[in-house]
């Protein structure tokens, strides 16, 4: 049954929950008998610029933004692994009252408030199941990051050894640390590995970083009873400790057990059983089969666009402009079978042999000198761009692990992916520059460690 208009609710019944780069989320905190009970509202944001609006070349078409999850993401990642979304019309007056209430409460982080704002001109919002809400529920948001090492096929000789030995996330973390940010030691390849010991290790490292940063890291957030939890006094047990201990009564390791281990033992059974992690890793790697180096080389050779130079509105238009919904739908229709997805069927990870075959076929399609498929309306390089942008979406998403504390419930919870928004094409130049800078920073680190005879101390990343 469709939801009633948002105007049937008071804006003050919606409470700020969280926000990312593109969206701000508020949760319904009104009457339990409301149709909106147990739901959250996702609102688009805009940068604070002259005129208060995005530049036209930056914007993702609105019909793509609101339909992307159901029409593009769900067929690839599986409907069971994403939240159901419903579009709702927005009234500017209602939005203004909501924004004013949030401003009066001071709930947004100061840096976010200075950088962007809710887009009061957007005509629609998205209502989703609130995965955080609920009494007696722990909800954990993890941003799993990149889950693969690239193939050396399309890498330059100067970068191939590093990129196939150290994962992008570990190198990126060092790059940020060199600018003064913290380093957490978390390697996503451990989280994606499917190996119990490595998954526990990844979760313990995430929790340790969450504690040391006082909840400030962007790849782990914890909610209890619908409210965000921050690290407490290390010498005192918190409600979160009691909740985690409850979840691990079926057999935690022998006492004493650290809080990080308690956290890992509570979440690991769910993450080891969910298909969401292997599916994300698979989609990230197959859709980024050329990596940014191979894509840049392909575009330079076939279109004359050089990602290493200025990449502005003219270059975006030369490459066909920001994809619209009908192009995305057509692309997914053609490429889903190559990714092992069958129409109407549930998604499941490919076997090793199937993955190799899909990889080879995708490379052949993207690198073809002309359109080899009569049914394809776009050149191969355009298909490769859409694949890369889609891979970027899967690399940047978050997982919500929802664990009920009801003693009658299983300790294995549910997992859903969120923040699966389309990426603007004008970021291709940024992706290329960032790749160069991260690799150069990592190379300098290896050279320094080698100079003092400590090169062996740099941890290597490994898949599987």
Summarize pLDDT for 281-305 with one digit per residue, the tens: 999 999 999 999 999 999 999 999 9
* Pair of tokens at residue 265: 């033992």
| DSSP per position, 313-349 | HHHHHHTT-SPPHHHHHHHHHHHTGGGT--TTSPP-P
Specify whether the CB–CB gap between 183 and 174 falls below 8 A: yes
At residue 169, the pLDDT reads 94
* 190 burial type by CB count under 10 A (0-12 exposed, 13-18 middle, 19+ buried): buried
Three-state DSSP state, 141? strand
* The predicted structure's pLDDT at residue 241: 75
Instruction: Using the CB atoms, write b or e for 419-457: b if 16+ within 10 Å.
Output: bbbbbbbbebbebbeebeebbebbeebeeeeeeeeeeee
| Domain edges within the chain | 6-130, 132-464
Cα gap 220→240, rounded to integer Å: 15
Question: 143, 398 in Cβ contact below 8 A?
Answer: yes
- Pick the more confident residue, 234 or 105: 105
Sheet holding 227-229, edge to edge: 227-229, 220-224, 137-142, 398-404, 414-418
Window from 60-64, 99-103, 351-355, 448-452 with minimum mean pLDDT: 60-64
Residue 89 host element (H or E): strand 85-89
3-class SS at 307? coil
Two structure tokens written together for 225? 């009873």
Average pLDDT over the chain, rounded to an integer: 87
The pLDDT score that the predictor gives to residue 97 is: 95
pLDDT number for residue 412: 74
- Report, as an integer, the average pLDDT of 424-436: 95
Strands 85-89 and 23-28: unpaired
> Which residue in the block uniquely carries the two structure tokens 């090492």?
149
Chain Cα centroid distance, residue 391: 10
Q: Coil, strand, or helix at residue 299? A: helix
Cα distance between residue 398 and residue 416, in whole Å? 8
Residue 404 in 3-state DSSP? strand
Of the listed ranges 24-38, 102-116, 247-261, the one predicted with least confidence: 247-261
Give the pLDDT mean for 183-207: 91
* Its pTM surpasses 0.95: no
Q: Work out the percent of the chain whose per-residue pLDDT is above 90.
A: 58
Report in angstroms the alpha-carbon separations of 25 from 21, 45, 129, 266, 359. 11, 10, 12, 26, 36
| Number of alpha carbons in the 13 Å side-chain half-sphere of residue 56 | 4
Burial class (CB in 10 A: 0-12, 13-18, 19+), 122: middle
Q: What is the pLDDT of residue 345?
A: 64
pLDDT of residue 331: 96
The pLDDT confidence band at residue 410, using thresholds 50, 70 and 90, is low
- For the chain, percent of residues with pLDDT exceeding 70: 87
Residue 141 has pLDDT above 70, yes or no: yes
- pLDDT tens, position by position, 58-78: 566 666 666 888 899 999 999
Taking only the tens place, the pLDDT of each residue in 381-390 is 999 999 999 9
Rounded CA-CA distance 400/139 in Å is 6
Burial class (CB in 10 A: 0-12, 13-18, 19+), 113: middle
Residue with tokens 């804006």: 11
Whether residue 256 has a cis bond before it, omega within 30° of 0: yes
pLDDT over 70 (residue 137)? yes
pLDDT recorded at residue 249: 53
Provide mean pLDDT across the span 119-131.
89
Give yes or no for residue 86 having a pLDDT over 50: yes
Tokens for 178? 């060199």
pLDDT in tens, 334-370: 999 999 887 666 778 999 999 999 999 999 999 997 6
How would residue 182 be classed by pLDDT, with cut points 50, 70 and 90?
very low
pLDDT tier, 404 (very low <50, low <70, confident <90, very high otherwise)? confident
Segment 81-106 shows an average pLDDT of 91
Looking from the CA of 274 toward its CB, the CA atoms found within 13 Å total 28
Q: Read off the pLDDT of each residue in 196-218 and give the average, rounded to a whole number.
A: 91
Residues 280, 145: contact at Cβ < 8 Å? no
- Looking at residue 16, what is its pLDDT? 92
Residues 196, 250, 348, CA angle at the centre, nearest 5°? Answer: 45
261 close to 253: Cβ distance less than 8 angstroms: yes
Q: 416 has which bridge partners?
A: 400
pLDDT in the model for residue 455: 83
Quick one: CA torsion of 447, 452, 454, 459, rounded to 10 degrees? -30
Q: In angstroms, rounded to a whole number, what is the distance separating the alpha carbons of residues 275 and 272? A: 8
pLDDT digits (tens, 9 = 90+) for 230-287: 887 555 557 777 677 766 655 544 455 688 888 998 899 999 999 999 999 999 999 9
Closest CA to 417 of 72, 124, 35: 72
Q: Which architecture, in CATH terms, is 6-130?
A: 2-Layer Sandwich (3.30)
What's the pLDDT score for residue 233? 55
The residues near 170 (Cβ < 8 Å, ≥ 6 apart) are 187, 459, 461
pLDDT at 218: 83
pLDDT of residue 426: 93
Average pLDDT over residues 99-104: 93
Give the span between the Cα atoms of 321 and 425, in whole angstroms. 7
Can you give the C-alpha Rg of the chain in angstroms?
Answer: 23
Per-residue pLDDT at 235 = 53
């Amino acid at each position: 049954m469709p939801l009633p208009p948002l105007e049937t609710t008071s804006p003050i019944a919606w409470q700020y929950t969280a926000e990312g780069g593109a969206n701000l989320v508020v949760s319904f905190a009104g009457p339990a008998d409301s149709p909106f009970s147990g739901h959250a509202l996702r609102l688009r944001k805009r940068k604070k610029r002259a005129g208060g609006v995005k530049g036209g070349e930056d914007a993702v078409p609105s019909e793509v933004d609101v339909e992307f999850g159901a029409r593009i993401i769900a067929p690839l990642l599986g409907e069971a692994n994403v939240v159901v979304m419903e579009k709702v019309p927005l009234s500017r007056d209602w939005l203004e009252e909501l924004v004013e209430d949030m401003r009066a409460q001071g709930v947004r982080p100061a840096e976010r408030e200075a950088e962007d704002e809710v887009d009061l001109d957007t005509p629609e919002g998205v209502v989703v199941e609130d995965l955080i809400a609920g009494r007696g529920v722990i909800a954990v948001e993890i941003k799993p990051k990149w889950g693969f090492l690239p193939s050396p096929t399309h890498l330059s000789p100067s970068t191939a050894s590093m990129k196939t030995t150290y994962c992008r996330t570990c190198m990126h973390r060092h790059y940020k640390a060199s600018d003064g940010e913290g380093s957490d030691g978390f390697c996503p390849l451990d989280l994606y590995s499917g190996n119990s010991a490595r998954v526990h290790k990844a979760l313990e490292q995430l929790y340790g970083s969450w504690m040391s940063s006082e909840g400030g890291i962007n790849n782990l957030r914890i909610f209890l009873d619908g409210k965000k939890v921050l690290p407490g006094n290390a010498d005192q047990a918190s409600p979160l400790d009691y909740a985690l201990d409850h979840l691990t009564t079926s057999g935690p390791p022998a006492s004493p057990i650290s809080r990080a281990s308690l956290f890992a033992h509570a979440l690991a059974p769910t993450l080891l059983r969910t298909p969401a992690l292997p599916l994300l890793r698979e989609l990230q790697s197959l859709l980024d089969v050329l990596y940014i180096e191979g894509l840049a080389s392909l575009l330079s050779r076939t279109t004359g666009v050089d990602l290493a130079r200025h990449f502005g509105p003219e270059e975006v238009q030369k490459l066909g402009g920001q994809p619209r919904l009908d192009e995305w739908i057509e692309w997914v229709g053609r490429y889903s079978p190559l990714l092992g997805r069958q129409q109407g069927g549930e998604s499941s990870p490919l076997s090793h042999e199937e993955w190799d075959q899909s990889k080879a076929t995708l490379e052949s399609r993207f690198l073809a000198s002309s359109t080899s498929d009569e049914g394809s309306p776009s050149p191969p390089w355009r298909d490769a761009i859409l694949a890369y942008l889609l891979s970027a979406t899967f690399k940047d998403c978050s997982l919500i692990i929802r664990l009920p504390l009801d003693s009658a419930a299983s300790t294995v919870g549910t997992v859903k992916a969120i923040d699966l928004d389309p990426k603007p094409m004008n970021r291709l130049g940024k992706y290329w520059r960032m790749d160069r800078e991260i690799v150069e920073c990592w190379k300098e680190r290896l050279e320094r460690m080698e100079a003092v005879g400590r090169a062996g101390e740099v941890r290597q990343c490994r898949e599987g």
